[in-house]
Amino acid sequence: MTPAEALFHKITQETSEATPGKMFGALCIKAPNNKAAVLFKNNNIAFKLPEPELSETLSLDGAKVFDPADGRPMKGWAELPFTYAEKWPELAQKSLAFVKTLK
């Protein structure tokens, strides 16, 4: 298990209302409404975020719009590399709080 994957599992365990799952064959954290909020893929993590958090996150060096299928970017999702691991827990909380409000 890589350090990035270990951190993802730790975030999953320590985040209230988080349920582990899979999306696009990758590990994810689902909100109580069963919608994916956080996704772990290729040692990066992607978050479903509202504005202004989405724009702030995408402004970080190395951040990008999450594109799980090369050429099919997902609106509202920001992907961050492990170099921002210290931000992952807080962004996971924000993502989960946002996604649980979605219908």
* pLDDT value of residue 24: 84
* pLDDT value of residue 36: 96
Domains along the chain with CATH numbers? 3-99 (3.90.1150.30)
Beta-carbon-side half-sphere exposure of residue 44 (alpha carbons within 13 Å): 15
The token pair that represents 23 in the structure block: 């999306």
Spans in the chain with pLDDT lower than 50: none
* pLDDT value of residue 68: 85
* pLDDT value of residue 15: 86
Q: Which of 18, 42, 41 is nearest to 92 (CA)?
A: 18
* pLDDT value of residue 92: 96
- d(C-alpha 77, C-alpha 63), whole Å: 10
pTM metric for this prediction: 0.92
* pLDDT value of residue 17: 86
Beta-carbon-side half-sphere exposure of residue 40 (alpha carbons within 13 Å): 25
